[in-house]
Amino acid sequence: MAKRKTTVQKNKELAQDGLKLRHYGLRLRLVPTDIQKSKIHSFCGSSRFTYNFYLGERMEVYKNTGETLNSGEFKKSFNVFKEHPMFNWLKEADKFALETAIEAVDEAYDRFFKGQNKFPKFKSKRKSEQKYTTKFTNNNIELDVKRQMVKVPKLGWVKVRFSKEHRKIFQDKGFNAKIKSATVKYHSSGQYYVSLKYEEIIKLENEINWSLVSLDQIIGLDLGLTFFYIDSNGNKVENLKFLKNCLKKLAKLQRQLKNKEIGSSNYKKSQKKISKLHLHIANMRKDFLHKESRKLVNENQVIVLEDLNVKGMIKNKKLSRSIADVSWGIFKTFVSYKSEWNNKKVVIIDRFYPSSKECNGCHEKNTLLSLSDREWVCPKCSTVHDRDINAAKNIKEEGIRILKKLYPSLYVA
C-alpha cells in the first residue's frame, strides 16, 4: 500500500505549477434534534473508549515486551473485538470516528517523542468539551448553504446557524474548497458545534519585494498585562481582563452550586450556568484576539514579536491567572497564520533580548531596572523613557536587524 503524501510533499509538487495548499476550518453552531443529540453523546463516548483502550493496550504491550504496538495491527484486532456481545455497541458509531481516535494516540506519542507534549493521558468523560472526528469519503460530509444544514455520517442532515460574516463570504466569494474531515463537539453548557476542515488549492504568491518595504510598514509589539500590547508607534491597547471582570459572577454561581445536592436537577442546572459563563469568557477573549490580530495584519507589512516563555511565566503564582487570561500564545498563532495568508511577515526575536532595559537612544543597558519601574531615566544620555514604548521600539529595531540579515535589500528610510 502506497504511503500517503504529506502536505509538504504535495506543496513541493504544486509549487512547480505556481500553486500551494491551504488548510483552514469552519466552525458552525449545530441545532440537532433529540435523536441526533443522543447519537452525538454516544459517538463521543465510543471515540473516547477507543482512544483509552488503544492507549492502555499500547502501554501494556511496551511494559511486557518492550515493543511498540502498531496501529495497523490494532485496527485488525479491534474489528474482531467489536464482534464480542459486550462491545458490539461500538458498531453503532461511525467507523471513521473510531479510526481517528486510534490515529490520535499515535500522533500524541509522536509529539511526546519530539518533545512537543507531555506523555499521552487517558481521556475523561467529565471534561467540559467532548468531541469526535470523522473523515470525508464519497460525499459523506456536505454543507448545504441554502438550506443551512450540514450532513454528517450516521447523524444525517443537521441544522446549523450561519453568522452574518459567513453568509456574506458565501454570497460574495462562493466556496470551492474540499472538505477533508468534520469534528463534532458537545460543550457542557449544552451547545453543539461542528468544525469542518477544508483544503483549497490557491496561487503561490511571490516573495515580498523588500526594497519597497519602508520603516512605517514595520511594527514592533511589546506584550504586557497592564496593556495587552504597546506598539512601536506609541499606541497602547487596553487589556480587557475578561476572566477577572467575571470573577464575582463566577464565584456567586459556584457558591450556589455548593449548596445544591450533588446529582440533582438543580445541581445540573447550576453546572450548566457555570459552563455557559466560562464559554462566554472564552468567546469574548477569542473575538478580541481575532479582531486585534486582523487589524495588525491589515495595517502592517512586518510584525515583530517577542518569543515569550509563557509556560515558564505561568508558574508565577501571583501572575499565573492574569497571564492565562491574556492568551499571548493564541494571539501569536492568530497573527502568524493571518500574516502567512496575506503574504505578510512575522519576525520573532529572542526571548533573552533585553528590550525593556536597553535605551532606545544610546543603547545603554540599565541593569538596575526592576519590574515596578514603569518610567526610567537613561543613566548615560538622561532620556526619560516609558518602559513599554521603549521596549516596543527596541523590539522593532531588533526585528529590522534580523530582517537585514535575511534580506539585504530591505529598504531603510
Helix 328-341 × helix 265-299 angle, to 10°:
50
Angstrom distance (rounded) from CA 334 to CA 17? 29
Q: Are 146 and 190 contained in the same domain?
A: yes
Whether residue 51 is contained in a domain is answered as yes
* 8 A C-beta contact, residue 191 and residue 279: yes
Mean local confidence (pLDDT), 275-280: 94
- Which element (helix H / strand E) includes 157? strand 156-161
Cell of 12: 513541493
Angstrom distance (rounded) from CA 353 to CA 395? 9
Q: Is 89 helix (H, G, I), strand (E, B) or coil?
A: helix
Whether residue 152 is contained in a domain is answered as yes
- Higher pLDDT, residue 361 or 285: 285
Q: Are 42 and 161 contained in the same domain?
A: yes
Last residue within a domain, chosen from 179, 203, 227: 203
334-376 pLDDT per residue, tens: 999 999 888 899 999 988 888 888 888 787 787 777 777 777 7
50-67 pLDDT per residue, tens: 999 999 999 999 999 988
Q: Are 198 and 317 contained in the same domain?
A: no
- pLDDT reported for residue 267: 93
Q: Are 264 and 314 contained in the same domain?
A: yes
Whether residue 413 is contained in a domain is answered as no
Q: Which residues contact 111 (CB under 8 A, 6 or more apart)?
A: 117
Q: Are 232 and 183 contained in the same domain?
A: no
Whether 2 has a pLDDT exceeding 60, the answer reads no
Whether residue 171 is contained in a domain is answered as yes
Q: Please state, as a whole number, how many other Cβ atoms lie within 10 Å of the Cβ of residue 45.
A: 16
Q: Are 181 and 265 contained in the same domain?
A: no
Q: Are 40 and 167 contained in the same domain?
A: yes
* 8 A C-beta contact, residue 47 and residue 101: yes
Whether residue 161 is contained in a domain is answered as yes
Cell of 172: 460574495
pTM of the model as a whole: 0.87
Q: Are 178 and 259 contained in the same domain?
A: no
Q: Are 226 and 370 contained in the same domain?
A: yes
Whether residue 412 is contained in a domain is answered as no
Question: Band of the pLDDT at 107, cuts 50, 70, 90?
Answer: very high
Whether residue 411 is contained in a domain is answered as no
Give the pairing type, strands 345-349 and 302-306. Answer: parallel
Last residue within a domain, chosen from 185, 203, 221: 203
Q: Are 198 and 219 contained in the same domain?
A: no
Domain of residue 141 covers 7-203
